[in-house]
Amino acid sequence: MTDHPQIAVSTVIFALRETDDQALPALWMPLVRRIRAPFEGLWALPGGPLGIDESLSEAARHNLKATTGLAPRYLEQLYAFGDPARSGDQRLVSIVYWALVGNDEASRSEADDNVRWFPADALPALAFDHQLIVDYALWRLRNKVEYAQIAHRLLGETFTLAQLRSVYEAILQRPLDPANFRRQMAAAKSLAATGEMQSGARHRPPRLYRYVEVPGTTPNPWA
């Protein structure tokens, strides 16, 4: 045990996956298997040490790429965890980020013996205090999706309103009224119709939308 605390940067990653039996997607996340003590063999959040020339968010991105191959479409600092008892016999302070990755990116993600995807609400036993961290990240995601425009970052570049609504429903775990959802999105003025339709289904073809930044809408100018 060293006499000064070590710093690590870890990330809770969310992506949407179609469930086989249902048409509704659900939240999944990639975990990595620990290959050394403490908690050897258990699943854990991807992370690693803080490089001497990296900012905290750069370290999060860099570790994400190295361990899971993913590049997030949204990244935000979650919390710093530093309880003395959280990391066995060495003192470890973890700066934890949370991230959203798009549809395409998540499905491209290679399967690996030491990296596996799990449903966010049914994880295996996790190393350290990582289950607590995941619970907090889920709480933050559910809060933030209600007032910030982040849900589209779990989809691709263009999407239908029904797809976007299914993202909200997967995160909030309750059905939303399609009519009211449409009006809420219209009021936010952050969606632009591409002019294209998505055909093929056996019903009226829906419009495709793209996310557009609304000028005065930066919820947190810092961070």
Partner DNA sequence: GCAAAAGTGTTGCGACTACACCCATGA
Partner DNA sequence: TCATGGGTGTAGTCGCAACACTTTTGC
Quick check: 220 and 144 in contact, CB under 8 A?
A: no
Q: Tokens standing for 17?
A: 């996956």
142 scored as a contact of a copy of itself (CB under 8 A): no
Quick check: 68 and 13 in contact, CB under 8 A?
A: yes
Nearest distance from C-beta of residue 139 to DNA, angstroms:
19
Q: Choose which of 143, 184, 194, 218 interacts with DNA (CB under 7 A).
A: 184
CA 208 from centre of chain: 23
Which does residue 91 touch among DNA, a copy of itself, none (CB within 5 to 8 A, set by kind)?
A: a copy of itself
162 scored as a contact of DNA (CB under 7 A): yes
Strands 6-18 and 92-100: parallel
Residue 87 is given by DSSP the state T
Q: Cβ closer to DNA: 4 or 203?
A: 203
Task: Compute CA distances 86 → 67, 94, 128, whole Å.
Answer: 22, 10, 6
200 scored as a contact of DNA (CB under 7 A): yes
Binding site for DNA (CB under 7 A): 160-162, 177-180, 182-184, 187, 199-207
Binding site for a copy of itself (CB under 8 A): 3-7, 50, 52-56, 77, 79-84, 91, 93, 95, 132, 135-136, 139, 220-223
